[in-house]
Homo-oligomer: A and B are copies of this chain.
Amino acid sequence: MSRAYKVAVVGATGAVGRQMVACLEERQFPVAELKPLASDRSLGKSVTFKGREIPVEVLTKEAFAGVEIALFSAGGSISKEYGPIAAQAGAVVVDNSSAWRMEPDVPLVVPEVNPQDIALYKNRGIIANPNCSTIQMVVALKPLHDAARIKRVVVSTYQAVSGTGQKAVEELAAQVRALLSSQEVVKKVYPHRIAFNVLPHIDVFLDNGYTKEEMKMVLETKKILGDDSIEVTATAVRVPVFYGHAESVNIETERKLTPEAARELLSKAPGVKVVDNPAKFEYPMPLDAAGQDLTLVGRIREDFSIAHGLNFWVVADNLRKGAATNTVQIAEILIKDYLR
């Protein structure tokens, strides 16, 4: 019989942290003891796990004693500081921030794509969870890349406000309420109104004109697919949706891949659900993706503008497959294959 583990969740009161706790319960992860950690601002709060209220403890250097697996989602600077401390204390860290993703000796893992890279956790005791937009895209790209080699990806995203955090969810709701009742709109989280608007701006702008979010999609895709030759160009856009990121993906492949062949490959791919029956108005939507763990793919069609091209549309729950679920899936492989 398999054993149970002492698991810490760092950033347990955030949008992703709460979802991590929910995922551990839903997926029946063998938790012997759950240790929710957060900053002292969260003191007095608790998280619900298997019907019990577990008080949140303050994150300190000593908090990881006896912890075997530490799931982090408390922002890059916390991960940078406390990730190595947790690893030093003997925990394997699965980190949802961008702090460690591009470190050459830290694996960056999507279980459906590169589960073998989990073995590299031994280097630093840290496994990085990719960016939400990257995860759902590579889940869809992987079977197509294996079959026809993807040369180039042009992607435009339609990202939900929950990706920014719980405060952004509240801001969108408050702005919509204000507009419908002719009250003044308050902006705190985003520099512009997001209600009934679209912002081509996610994360900070870099010197090359791209946002950090866009460059994550470029660089992380290469690392996860283990192929530096895949060229990616991205435009990341925030839309007034609460949950669920959508992506318009255009690919150019080395070998010809018909839409039918792509549909067949995707329908057999792990973690993917093909939703592609336009005649019945069936295509992926944030509304359907939210609250479940699959990556939905549809609108698969030939791109007639090049010899070997396809367009498709990918939607997933950004807090689940894009963050919490992917982290817990990594932990599942970790205990099955390495921490027995």
Contacts and interface: CB of A to CB of B under 8 A. Distances in A.
Given A156-B156, A176-B180, A248-B235, A302 B209 contact: yes
Interface residues of A, number: 58
A210 interface: yes
A233 B250 contact: yes
A82 interface: no
B241 A200 contact: no
How many copies altogether?
2
A130 interface: no
A328 B27 CA distance: 60
A226 B62 CA distance: 70
B301 A210 contact: yes
Contacts of A284: 200
A235 B152 contact: no
B278 A201 contact: yes
Contact of A311 (B233, B250, B309): B233
Interface in A229-254: 231-233, 235, 237, 239-242, 244, 246, 248, 250
Chief secondary structure at chain A's binding surface: mixed
B246 A200 contact: yes
4 tightest A-B CB contacts, nearest first: A209-B301, A231-B305, A156-B248, A156-B156
Interface of A: 152-154, 156, 158, 173, 176-177, 180, 191-193, 196-201, 205, 208-211, 218, 231-233, 235, 237, 239-242, 244, 246, 248, 250, 259, 278-279, 281, 283-287, 298-306, 309, 311, 313
Given A156-B248, A239-B239, A250-B250, 15 more contacts: A154-B303, A158-B158, A158-B239, A177-B180, A196-B242, A196-B286, A197-B285, A198-B241, A200-B298, A208-B302, A209-B300, A210-B301, A231-B305, A239-B240, A248-B248
